[in-house]
Structure 1
Amino acid sequence: MNLNLTKMTFLTLMIYSTLMSISASNWLSMWMGLELNLFTIIPILNFKSSIYSIEATMKYFLIQAFASIILLIFLINKNFLFLNNTNIMIILPLLMKLSLMPFHLWLPSMMEGLNWISCLLMMTWQKISPLIMISYLNIDKNMIFLIILISMNSIFGLNQNSLRKVLAMSSINNSTWMLIAILMNENLWINYFWIYSILNFLIIKMLNNYNINYMNQMKFFNLNFFFKLNMLMMILSIMGLPPMLGFLMKWMLIKTLIFNKMYFILMMLIILTILNLFFYIKMTYFLLFNFNLFNKWFLQNKKNNYNFLMMMNFFSLFFCYLFIY
């Protein structure tokens, strides 16, 4: 991506619009920040213009504009809607912007037409404003049960072959964890979001470098042993298996839920994640069970930029345990 003046302008405006939403003192200013974010992300999604990216951008614009209109109507008529708890009405358009169930089906179909850098922005940066706006609402704890029960999205990713749709379903599942984390403790959410963003960045960087879009393309990388090893590590990490960095973000939330005796929520989250593991294991099938023949000197003198990241990913939990405890 060539960072010329136009692209730098839109990227700066995107960052500014998110900061405007999360630091505003009233809801109308937050809504204005969301609108500014919508108008700046549309050119960013079309940096490498194609028929598919234009279609995906149109889907994104229609969904976000519809959610913004509903949010504005609820904010203007907040005093005229004779409801005991208007926060429930405000959270619905924010869930639509966040692509949580039952408003989630637009995200996988939209991400299918985007390039990998735009997918990374959709899965990380675009979640910041709606999540923080939800955290400003006074939500009863019983509302969390409803959010979890409508977030059973894992079954939609079981038959997908496209890696973009698999990562989109994974993003929806992790959004549920982030939603519970930000309602429990904002520092917990910040740690979760940073680790999740780093893991997504590493996976998308590898898929982008090798131009991999579908699961069955992974079996053509018979010669690149280090690519398969690194990819396996990253998939295991974002699955949340214990020695990896991805387990740390879920471990913090699990401990917080146990301390607050919210066992039902914890059980629901873990069951959803176990269902989610199935299509991660499908991704590892072509990496593990496609046996390769290569010469032993292939392992020597190979330039590989991911070795340090792989070791950091694997040993991070032990270091964190030493530092924190």
Structure 2
Amino acid sequence: MFSFLPFVSFFFFFLLVFGSIISISSFHWLFVWVGLEVNLMGFIPVLVYSGKRLMAESGVKYFLVQALGSSLFAGGSCIVFGNLSGLDLAYGWVDFSLLNGVELVGFFLLLMSLFMKLGCFPFYSWVPSVCVGCSWFSCFFLLTWQKLAPFFVLFSVSGFYGSMVFWIVGILGGLSSFVGGVGGMGETCIRCLLGYSSVGHSGWMVYSGMLGFSTFFCYYSVYFVVSICLFCVLGILGSKGMGHFNSFFKDKEFVMGLGFMSVLLSLGGVPPMLGFFGKMIVIFNGMLVSNFLFISLLIFGSLLSLYYYLVLFFGVFFSSKSLVLSYKDFYSLGNNGSLGLYVGVFIVSLIVVINLFGVVFCFFVF
């Protein structure tokens, strides 16, 4: 069975990406829904490919939540745009004040389904529990790529954003950042912590999308690059990073600890790290429209998230034998190391450079 696994995984990975592209590029609500379903059917086998019990449990939880979200999405879109005599996306650009009571219910069902798929407040509790049983590869796609199509669908109905809906979505985004910070403060499992971290960053992305697509693209691009760096380090660590904080960096993990600490500071938005650039763009653009309540919620949630980033940072920094290495240790690493060691050192060094100097590159690009 395992001999066919690489081909099967590649096929479902193709479905995963293809489904998201269908949803993003479609001009009809039916094809948007079909793309979301193709993406779901492609991601489930990737999520449970090893057949372990925890992975199977995470796959079932993810399938149930996403299936419920898809049902609400289909029902809400049919109620709203069916009453408008068309399912084309052009019918989404209507005046919110012209909707009747039934259409308002359908519209809020549509918003509820998208927030459920994204794992934002108040439907965030499934994200950490699903992350617990994922591999690092599956966890990366769960926290990054799987959010892309629902975000585009959410922003495609921005024609409905009157003052009331703008406030509702903005407050939900701010509360997502807040619960992402509060929920991760008591966690000792790396995967749960990354899940709550994703909930917090999703709140920032929701608010950035309300400010404009360019703002969302800047923040999502920065978060995507930082996530790649993070999961590269965790993938190199392998099984040692499967459990809790105390399983990290036991013996001579100087390079891995340095790369991991730089990524943590970048995720927390500490200047001058790369993650600071995305939050700076959102704050500056948000100040232009004077939404101080939303920005305050986002910053407060980000400060709470920074607390557990720093807890993990100092845990790595002061771990035994993680940073204090003698010349004899380096000599033995050089003599006994293999090509994989040097490749790992190069990758982690590149990660440190990206997080330290990536913000300079962003200023020239954006």
State TM-score, norm by structure 1.
0.92
Q: Distance in 2 between matches of 1:265 and 1:228?
A: 35
- Partners of 2:350 and 2:128 in 1: CA distance: 32
Counterpart code for 2:258:
L
- State which drifts further: 46-55 or 114-123: 46-55
- Higher helix content, 1 or 2: 2
> What secondary structure is seen at the aligned counterpart in 2 of 1:290?
coil
- In the alignment, which residue of structure 2 is the partner of 1:294? 325
The structure 2 residue matched to 1:209, chosen from 222, 226, 236, is 236
Corresponding residue pairs, total: 323
Q: 1:10 corresponds to which letter in structure 2?
A: F
Asked if the contact 2:174/2:203 (under 8 Å) is kept, the reply is no
Matched, 1:311 2:349: no
Q: Is the 8 A contact 2:128 2:191 kept in 1?
A: yes
Q: Which moved more, 1:281-290 or 1:246-255?
A: 281-290
Q: Please, which runs of 5 or more residues in structure 1 have no aligned partner?
A: none
Q: Secondary structure at the match of 1:82?
A: helix
Alpha-carbon contact 2:175-2:203 (below 8 Å) kept: no
Give the Cα–Cα distance (whole angstroms) in 1 for the partners of residues 137 and 365 of structure 2: 33
Structure 1 residue aligned with 2:94: none
| Displacement of 1:103 | 0.7
CA contact (8 A) 1:177 1:269 kept: yes
Shift of 1:291: 5.0
Q: Is the 8 A contact 2:111 2:154 kept in 1?
A: yes
Once residues 204 and 360 of structure 2 are traced to their aligned partners in structure 1, the CA distance between those partners, rounded to angstroms, is 23
How far apart, in 2, do the equivalents of 1:30 and 1:146 lie?
A: 26
Aligned-partner SS, 1:77 = helix
- 1:42-96 deviations in whole A, cap 9, x for unaligned? 1111222211111110111111111111221222223395245743331001100
Compute the RMSD of aligned alpha carbons. 2.2
Q: Is the 8 A contact 2:174 2:294 kept in 1?
A: no
> Which position in structure 2 is the counterpart of 1:102?
122
What per-residue deviation string (whole Å, max 9, x for no partner) do you get for residues 267-307 of structure 1? 11101100111211121132122353421354575831221
For residues 118 and 361 of structure 2, what CA distance do their matches in structure 1 show? 33
2:263 counterpart residue number: 234
* Cα displacement string for residues 82-113 of structure 1 (whole angstroms, at most 9, x for unaligned residues): 24574333100110010111111111111101
> Once the two structures are aligned, what percentage of the paired residues are identical?
25
TM-fit CA distance, 1:150: 3.8
TM-fit CA distance, 1:17: 0.6
1:221-300 superposed matches below 5 A: 221=251, 223-292=252-321, 293-296=324-327, 298=329
Per the alignment, residue 184 of structure 1 pairs with: 211
The answer to whether the 8 Å contact 1:218/1:286 transfers is no
CA distance in 2, matches of 1:85, 1:217: 48
Report how far residue 254 of structure 1 moved: 1.1
Q: Could you say if the C-alpha distance between residues 72 and 318 of structure 1 is closer, same or farther in structure 2, counting changes exceeding 3 Å?
A: closer
Distance in 2 (alpha carbons) for counterparts of 1:145 and 1:188: 15
Out of 148, 161, 164, the position equivalent to 1:139 is 161
CA distance in 1, matches of 2:349, 2:78: 54
Per-residue CA deviations over 1:154-185 (Å, capped at 9, x if unaligned) read 21111111100000100000001111112211
- Distance in 2 of aligned mates of 1:105 and 1:226: 34
* Distance in 1 of aligned mates of 2:210 and 2:170: 12
Alpha carbons 2:20, 2:35 under 8 Å: kept: yes
The CA deviation at 1:249 is 1.0
After superposing the two structures, state which structure 1 stretch, 129-138 or 143-152, moved more. 143-152
Structure 1 window deviating more from structure 2 (200-209 vs 169-178): it is: 200-209
Q: Does the residue aligned with 1:220 lie in a helix, a strand or coil?
A: coil
CA distance in 2, matches of 1:296, 1:311: 24
Code of the aligned partner of 1:217:
S
Preserved contact between residue 208 and residue 282 of structure 2 (Cα < 8 Å): yes
Mapped partners of 1:311, 1:82: distance in 2: 54
User: Which amino acid is the alignment partner of residue 26 of structure 1?
Assistant: H
Mapping of 1:94-133 within 5 angstroms? Answer: 94-133=114-153
SS at match of 2:102: coil
For residues 277 and 180 of structure 1, what CA distance do their matches in structure 2 show? 19
Counterpart code for 1:44: V
Q: Distance in 2 between matches of 1:34 and 1:195?
A: 24
CA distance in 2, matches of 1:258, 1:100: 23
Q: CA deviation at 1:314?
A: 0.8
Cα distance in 1 for residues equivalent to 2:278 and 2:70: 31
Summarize the Cα distance change of 1:284–1:249 in structure 2 as closer, same or farther, 3 Å threshold. same
What residue in structure 1 maps to residue 112 of structure 2?
Answer: 92
1:164 counterpart SS class: helix
Q: Does 1:171 align with 2:198?
A: yes
Give me the whole-angstrom Cα distance separating, in 1, the residues matched to 2:354 and 2:150. 31
